[in-house]
């Protein structure tokens, strides 16, 4: 059976193993890192670093956009509820 792939309008393909690798690299533990940082600016830096890394490494617009929105939502939910 062929591995499933996600593609976007640019026909950028990404395998499930690559998806997992990117999620682990940029999103694993990010919620805790955002929550435990003592300053909103530091949390913003964490989010920006993750989004910049995804921009450079993730060729799929769909996955990149989803993961970037995910980390931004974590930031907003935590820091706007303080």
- Domain range summary for the chain, segments of one domain joined by +: 16-79
Would you write out the chain's pLDDT as a tens digit for each of its 82 residues?
Answer: 344 455 545 556 778 898 899 889 989 999 999 999 999 999 999 999 999 998 898 888 888 899 999 999 999 999 988 7
Q: State how far the Cα of 69 lies from the Cα of 75, in Å rounded to an integer.
A: 10
Buried/exposed 23-54: b ≥16 CB within 10 Å, e otherwise: beebbeebeebbeebeeeeebeebbeebbeeb
Place of tokens 């996600």: 6
């Amino acid at each position: 059976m062929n591995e499933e792939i996600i593609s976007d309008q640019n026909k950028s393909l990404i395998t499930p193993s690559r998806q997992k690798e990117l999620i682990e690299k940029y999103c694993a533990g990010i919620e805790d890192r955002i929550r435990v940082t003592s300053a909103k600016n530091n949390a913003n830096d964490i989010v920006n670093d993750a989004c910049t890394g995804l921009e450079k490494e993730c060729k799929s617009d769909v996955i990149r956009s989803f993961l970037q929105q995910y980390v931004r939502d974590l930031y907003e939910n935590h820091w706007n509820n303080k």
